[in-house]
Amino acid sequence: MKRLVLIEDQTAVREMLVAILGSDTLYQIVGQAGDGQAGVQLCLDTSPDVIILDAKLPGLNGVDVLRRVRKKLPAVRTLVFSGYENPVLLREMLAAGANGFVEKTAGLAELKQGLDTVAGGGDYFGPGITKLLLSVAANPARSSAPADPLTAREREILQLVAESHSTREIAEKLGLSSKTVDNHRTNLMRKLNLHDVASLTRHALDVGLIQTGKPV
């Protein structure tokens, strides 16, 4: 039986997955999380065999969640289950170590097929993602993005700023002092040559840290 963790911020979707997979004799659901920070800690606490991971999560996005988890748990298998697909996101998820990617517009049977394939050691990509991969292969420039000058901590703070969290809230979430958060914020603004929250938010949208509307 494979130990499974679900990381998905939409409660209804997460509960649906628990209801469907909870009775599956192939998997034991050892935990679920609704945001990126909690998801990382849950994985470190439970050491799952496989993760179903949303790409877009509050506080810490799916790419950074996967990077942190795989740094400590390199053997973990991950199926990305997301309604947000673009070439840059796909490239970053694969680089972070994702083993499969199923879009949320797919049926539950396909999700199960993807999960079984990934848990069994294979790679799996849904039809929409396969089409995107073929498109990227035909036009590699579509999947390229400017080099990211930010550290992991600066990316994390950028996402939280773009999600409208105050300095005090960010400090509490990350266990930092307000002064340290302000220093990181100053550094990331200097590196990006951006000088207000609106500009930072637009940049976060452009690089896929946040999105305007989160599809189911």
Same domain membership, residue 176 and residue 110:
no
Q: Which residue, 114, 142, 170, sits at the end of a domain?
A: 142
Domain count, the chain: 2
Per-residue model confidence as pLDDT tens digits over 15-26: 999 999 988 999
Same domain membership, residue 111 and residue 29:
yes
At 216 the pLDDT is: 38
Question: Above 70 in pLDDT, residue 147?
Answer: no
At 138 the pLDDT is: 52
Rounded CA separation 28/46 (Å): 12
Beta bridge partners of 33: 7
Query: Over pLDDT 90: what percentage of the chain?
Result: 49
Helix axes 87-96, 62-72, angle to 10 degrees: 10
The mean pLDDT of 37-51, rounded to a whole number, is 96
Q: Report yes or no: 100 and 124 within 8 Å, Cβ to Cβ.
A: yes
- Regarding beta strands 100-103 and 77-82, do their DSSP bridges make them parallel or antiparallel, or are they unpaired? parallel
Rounded CA separation 48/59 (Å): 22
Question: Above 90 in pLDDT, residue 56?
Answer: no
